[in-house]
Amino acid sequence: MSTIPLMPKATAVWLVENTSLGFDQIADFCKLHPLEVKAIADGEAAQTIKGLDPVTTGQLTREEIDRAQKDPKYRLKMAETRVRVPVQKRKGPRYTPVSRRQDRPNAILWLLRNHPELKDAAIMRLVGTTKPTIDSIRGRSHWNSTNLTPSDPVMLGLCSQIDLDFEVEKAAKNAPPREIGAEGETLLPTEETTAADALASAALRSYRQEEPQDDELDADAVFAKLKSLKGPVDEDEDEA
């Protein structure tokens, strides 16, 4: 049962005009702020709103109002609904408006391509179609298969995003696990990966071993050049 009255501000207007309830009591029942109720009473708000009688709508009883008027601390309680409307469960395929029925083949094609995990029963629930129609579109035997364009059923208004996500999630849970080694795998065999790693390691070791040798060759060349430059200086010193 809902705890918010029908048209809260209109109900508050009626209670302000027809009862002696306090602002806090009306605000608590209508789920408004006490200052909003005070503004309604002062004529500063809801001037164009017509009051709604909560008694005639079955939201309050006269006894409940009288009790609250006698006790300022009492809080109004919503009256229980005497009529229970049963929740009807949808059976069979979803009803599709006539204006949208021509879009169903495009939606079916979109579902078959983008969500192959969906079973025919799920597609029938989503777009309100039949199994022969799904089979004809899947097998390209539909009379208009050459002109079909995949279209999102949510964008077409054939189902809601919540319903689509629910069916996809349900199908994913019931789908069997994929086998390793199926077609389309991109992982290389172990022999190829280990061989490539071995070649890379050998090349790296060779490069690191060659680096010091290059440094040593460069150092010898520098020392030889220094000796060649220092030679004439030594001869001059001996003559002196």
| CB contact burial 75-109 (16+ within 10 A = b; e otherwise) | ebebbeeeeeeeeeeeeeeeebeeeeeebbbbbbb
pLDDT, position 105: 92
Which among 156, 174, 192 is the end of a domain?
174
- Which residues 6+ apart lie within 8 Å of 204 measured at CB? none
Instruction: Identify the domain containing residue 49 by its residue range.
Output: 8-70
153 within 8 A of 126, measured Cβ to Cβ: yes
pLDDT, position 161: 87
Which among 174, 207, 227 is the end of a domain?
174
Give the Cα-Cα-Cα angle 65, 66, 72 (nearest 5 degrees). Answer: 85
For the record, the structure tokens of 151 come out as: 């279209």
DSSP assignment letter at 60: -
Positions in the chain short of pLDDT 70: 1-2, 81-101, 175-240
Residues 65, 115, single domain; the answer is no
Distance CA 210, CA 143 (A): 73
Which among 23, 51, 70 is the end of a domain?
70
Task: Give me the number of domains the chain comprises.
Answer: 2
62 within 8 A of 68, measured Cβ to Cβ: no
